Amino acid sequence: MPKMNMVQALNDALRVALGRDERVVVMGEDVGRVGGVFRVTAGLIEEFGEERVVDTPLNEGGIVGAAIGMALYGMTPIVEIQFGDYLWPAYDQVVNELAKYRYRSGGEYSAGMVIRTPVGGGIRGGHYHSQHPEAPFIHVPGLKVVCPATPHDAKGLLLASVRDPDPVIFLEPKRLYRAAKGEVPDGHYTVPLESARVVRSGPDVTVIAYGAMLYEALDAAAKAAEEGVECTVIDLRTLWPVDIETIAASVRATGRLVVVHEAPRTCGFGAELVALVCERVFYHLEAPPVRVTGFDTPFPYSLEMEYLPLSHRILPAVLEAARS
Amino acid sequence: MTQTERQESRNPAPLRDVVRVLGDDGTIVDPTLDPGLSGPELVALYRDMSRTRILDERLLTLQRQGRIGFHVGSLGEEATIIGATYALRPQDWIFPCYRESGAAVTRGLPLQAFVDNVFGNANDLVKGRQMPDHHTGRAVRFASTSSPVGTQIPHAVGVAWAAKLRRDDVVTLAFFGDGATSTNDFHAAANLAGVFRLPVILLCRNNGWAISTPVERQTASPTFAEKGNAYGVPGVRVDGNDALAVIAVVRRAVERARSGAGATLIEALTYRMGAHTSSDDPSRYRTESEIRPWVERDPLERVRRLLEARRLISRADDDAYRAEVDRSFREAVAVAECTPPPGLHTLHEDVYATPPWHLVEQREALLRGSRPAAPPRTV
Ligand SMILES: Cc1ncc(C[n+]2csc(CCOP(=O)(O)OP(=O)(O)O)c2C)c(N)n1
Ligand SMILES: [Mg+2]
Confidence of residue A1 (pLDDT cuts 50, 70, 90): confident
Q: What integer pLDDT is reported at residue A166 of this predicted model?
A: 98
Confidence of residue B372 (pLDDT cuts 50, 70, 90): confident
Contact check, Cβ <8 Å, B155/A65: yes
Q: What integer pLDDT is reported at residue B3 of this predicted model?
A: 40
The answer to whether B285 is a known catalytic residue is yes
Clarify whether residues A108 and A226 are in a common domain.
no
Contact check, Cβ <8 Å, A69/B188: no
Residues whose Cβ atom is located within 5 A of ion ligand 2: B 177-178, 207, 210
Contacts of A51 in chain B (CB under 8 A): 165
Confidence of residue B195 (pLDDT cuts 50, 70, 90): very high
The percent helix, strand, coil of chain A (3-state, each to 5) is 40, 20, 40
DSSP labels, A56-104:
--S-HHHHHHHHHHHHHTT-EEEEE-SSGGGSGGGHHIIIIIITTHHHH
Q: Using CB atoms, pick whichever of A69, A96, A102 lies closest to residue B154.
A: A69
Q: Which among A160, A183, A206 is the end of a domain?
A: A183
Distance in angstroms between the alpha carbons of the first and the last residue of chain A: 45
Q: What integer pLDDT is reported at residue B370 of this predicted model?
A: 82
Smallest CA–CA distance, residue A310 to chain B, in Å, is: 31
Write the pLDDT tens digit of every residue in A151-160.
999 999 999 9
Reported pTM:
0.90
Q: Are B202 and B193 in contact (CB under 8 A)?
A: yes
The pairing of strands A197-200 and A238-240 is: unpaired
Q: What integer pLDDT is reported at residue B13 of this predicted model?
A: 52
What does the pLDDT average to over B205-221? Answer: 94
- For residue B146, the 8-state DSSP code is -
**d(Cα A313, Cα A318) in Å, to the nearest integer?**
9
Calculate the CA dihedral of residues B110, B115, B118, B122 and round it to 10 degrees.
Answer: -90
What does the pLDDT average to over B106-126? Answer: 97
**d(Cα A217, Cα A260) in Å, to the nearest integer?**
8
DSSP labels, B31-51:
TTT-----HHHHHHHHHHHHH
Asked if the model's pLDDT at residue B10 lies above 60, the reply is no
Clarify whether residues A145 and A232 are in a common domain.
no
CA atoms within 13 A on the CB side of B49: 29
Instruction: For chain B, give the mean pLDDT.
Output: 93
B136 touches chain A (CB under 8 A): yes
CATH number at residue A206: 3.40.50.920
In b/e form, how buried is each residue of A72-91, taking b as 16+ CB within 10 angstroms? bbebbbbbbbbbbbbbbbbb
Q: What integer pLDDT is reported at residue B8 of this predicted model?
A: 44
- For residue B202, the 8-state DSSP code is E
% of chain B beyond a pLDDT of 90: 91
**Which ligand 1 atom sits nearest the alpha carbon of residue B218?**
16
Asked if the model's pLDDT at residue B377 lies above 70, the reply is no
Clarify whether residues A289 and A225 are in a common domain.
yes
H-only helix segments in chain B: 3-10, 39-64, 78-87, 101-107, 111-119, 152-165, 184-195, 243-258, 288-296, 299-309, 315-337, 357-368
Clarify whether residues A128 and A28 are in a common domain.
yes
Asked if the model's pLDDT at residue B5 lies above 90, the reply is no
Residue type, A61: G
CATH number at residue A140: 3.40.50.970
Q: What integer pLDDT is reported at residue B280 of this predicted model?
A: 93
Contact check, Cβ <8 Å, A57/B191: yes
DSSP labels, A247-307:
HHHHHHHH--EEEEEEEESTT-HHHHHHHHHHHHHGGG-SS--EEEEE-SSPPPSTTHHHH
Of A221, A238, A239, nearest to A230 by C-alpha is: A221
Homologous superfamily of B3-342: Thiamin diphosphate (ThDP)-binding fold, Pyr/PP domains (3.40.50.970)
The domain tally of chain A equals 2
Show me where the domains of chain B are located.
3-342
The pairing of strands B213-214 and B209-210 is: antiparallel
Q: What integer pLDDT is reported at residue B373 of this predicted model?
A: 76
Quote the crossing angle between the two packed helices B152-165 and A60-72, to the nearest 10°: 60
Greatest C-alpha distance within chain A: 60
**d(Cα A97, Cα A75) in Å, to the nearest integer?**
17
Write the pLDDT tens digit of every residue in A86-137.
999 999 999 999 999 999 999 999 999 999 999 999 998 988 999 999 999 9
**d(Cα A160, Cα A191) in Å, to the nearest integer?**
6
Q: Are B245 and B239 in contact (CB under 8 A)?
A: yes
Q: Would you say residue A155 lies in a domain?
A: yes
Q: What integer pLDDT is reported at residue B12 of this predicted model?
A: 53
User: Nearest bound ligand to CA B77?
Assistant: 1
Write the pLDDT tens digit of every residue in B274-324.
999 999 999 999 999 999 999 999 999 999 999 999 999 999 999 999 999
- Ligand 1 atom 20: the closest Cα is on which residue? B210
What does the pLDDT average to over A250-271? Answer: 98
Range of lowest pLDDT (A233-237, A255-259, B128-132, B169-173): B128-132
Asked if the model's pLDDT at residue B158 lies above 90, the reply is yes
Q: What integer pLDDT is reported at residue B369 of this predicted model?
A: 86
Q: What integer pLDDT is reported at residue B1 of this predicted model?
A: 36
Clarify whether residues A169 and A229 are in a common domain.
no
Asked if the model's pLDDT at residue B7 lies above 60, the reply is no
Confidence of residue B242 (pLDDT cuts 50, 70, 90): very high
The answer to whether B187 is a known catalytic residue is no
**d(Cα A284, Cα B379) in Å, to the nearest integer?**
49
Of A248, A269, A245, nearest to A259 by C-alpha is: A269
Q: Are B151 and A64 in contact (CB under 8 A)?
A: no
Q: Which among A117, A151, A183 is the end of a domain?
A: A183
**d(Cα A231, Cα B283) in Å, to the nearest integer?**
69
- For residue B307, the 8-state DSSP code is H
Q: CA-based Rg of chain B, rounded to a whole angstrom?
A: 22
Q: Are B346 and B127 in contact (CB under 8 A)?
A: yes
The answer to whether B276 is a known catalytic residue is yes
**The dihedral sign for the CA sequence B364, B347, A94, A77:** positive
The pairing of strands A168-173 and A114-119 is: parallel
pLDDT top residue among B191 and B374:
B191
Residue type, B156: A
Domain carrying residue A13 = 3-183
B168: nearest CA partner in chain A: A73
Smallest CA–CA distance, residue B344 to chain A, in Å, is: 14
Quote the ligand 1 centre to B73 CA distance (angstroms): 13
Clarify whether residues A43 and A151 are in a common domain.
yes
Clarify whether residues A203 and A80 are in a common domain.
no
Clarify whether residues A207 and A179 are in a common domain.
no
Q: Are B180 and B202 in contact (CB under 8 A)?
A: no
Q: Is A116 left (phi over 0), alpha (psi -120 to 50) or beta?
A: beta
% of chain A beyond a pLDDT of 70: 100
Of B207, B220, B154, nearest to B178 by C-alpha is: B207
**d(Cα B45, Cα B28) in Å, to the nearest integer?**
16
What does the pLDDT average to over B222-236? Answer: 97
User: Beta-carbon neighbour count of residue B251 at 10 Å?
Assistant: 17
Q: What integer pLDDT is reported at residue A97 of this predicted model?
A: 98
Q: What integer pLDDT is reported at residue A324 of this predicted model?
A: 86
Confidence of residue B117 (pLDDT cuts 50, 70, 90): very high
Contacts of A52 in chain B (CB under 8 A): 165
Q: Which among A139, A155, A183 is the end of a domain?
A: A183
Q: Are B245 and B180 in contact (CB under 8 A)?
A: no
Clarify whether residues A146 and A48 are in a common domain.
yes
Contact check, Cβ <8 Å, B126/A96: no
**d(Cα A25, Cα A22) in Å, to the nearest integer?**
8
The total number of residues shown for chain A amounts to 324
User: Beta-carbon neighbour count of residue A50 at 10 Å?
Assistant: 11
CA atoms within 13 A on the CB side of B166: 21
Q: Would you say residue A191 lies in a domain?
A: no
